[in-house]
Amino acid sequence: MPDMVPSQAIPRHIAIVMDGNGRWAKRRMLPRPAGHKQGVSALRRVCNACADRGVQVVTAYAFSSENWRRPRDEVSALMGLIEKALRREIEELHRRGMRFRFSGGMDELPQSMQAAFGEATQMTAGNPGLTLNIAVNYGSRREIIDAVRALAERVARGDVAPSDIDEAMLEAHLYTAGLPDPDLLIRTAGEMRLSNFLLWQCAYTELYVTPVLWPDFDEDELDEAIATYARRERRFGMTSSQLGVDRGQAGVPPA
C-alpha cells in the first residue's frame, strides 16, 4: 500500500486506458505487436499490485470499438494476443482468487475468443478477490444505446412505465452492471481524453494522466496515482463542509 494512504482512501475501482504500446515498440525499433505483448505483462503486474493494495475492481480498456479501423494485420495480432493471454493467465488469475469479467460487444469477436471469455468468466465467477473487467470491442456510446434499446423494449412490452426509468435502472442494463463506478481513471502515454471509455460511469471519476507509456507502468507508478487520488477532495456536487471529511480522507465518497 502506498505510504501514508489510509486504507479507506484506496480507490475501490480503478479504470485504465492502457495507451502507448505502439510508441513503446517504435522507440525500440520493434514491431507494434511487441509493444502489445509488453502491455500484457504490465496489466498482470498492475492487477497483482492492485489486489495487494485492496483495490476491488480493475477495468482495462484492451480494444475499443473504434480500433477495428486499425491495419488488418495489427487487429488480427491484437485479437490473437488477447485470447492467448487470457488462456495463459486464467489459471493464475483463478489461483489468486480473482474474478474475470468482460465488457463490450461480444458478437463481433472471433468464436474462439468468445469461448475463452465465457470459460474464464465461468471458472472464476465465485472468486472473492479483485475483479478484472476487460473491455474488448467496447464503446461507451454503443453501451448506452444498447441499454436504452433494452429499456425501450421493456416499455413496449408493458413491463416498465417510462416514468419509472431512473439512473439505477439504466445502469442495470450497462455492460458494467453490478460493478461500482470507477473512483480513479488512469490514462498512460499523456493523452488527455476519454476515448469513448465509460462515459456514463466516469461522471465523478478522478482522472490521472501520466506520460509513462503503458508497458513501463509499474507498482511505483500505480502508488503515485493512488497517492494523488487520496489527496483529492471528492465533493460530488457538495461543499467540503457538507461532506465533513478532512483532506486526509479526501478520496472517500459520501455515504
Q: Which of 19, 21, 133, 137 is catalytic?
A: 19
Q: Is the pLDDT higher at 246 or at 91?
A: 91
For the question of residue 127 being annotated catalytic, the response is no
> What's the pLDDT at 23?
96
> Is residue 248 over pLDDT 60?
no
* Average pLDDT over every residue of 221-236: 91
pTM attached to this predicted model = 0.91
Residue 255 has pLDDT above 60, yes or no: no
pLDDT score recorded for residue 6? 77
* 4 pLDDT above the threshold of 70: no
- How far is the C-alpha of 53 from the C-alpha of 2, rounded, in Å? 8
- Domain 10-139+181-249 adopts which CATH fold? Undecaprenyl pyrophosphate synthetase (3.40.1180)
pLDDT of 160 above 60 = yes
Catalytic position from the list 67, 146, 196, 216:
67
Write phi, then psi, for 150 (nearest 5 degrees): -60, -40
Q: Mean pLDDT over residues 95-111, rounded?
A: 95
**pLDDT over 70 percentage in the chain:** 92
What pLDDT is attached to residue 233? 84
- For residue 67, indicate whether it is catalytic: yes
Check: CB of residue 60 under 8 Å from CB of residue 86: no
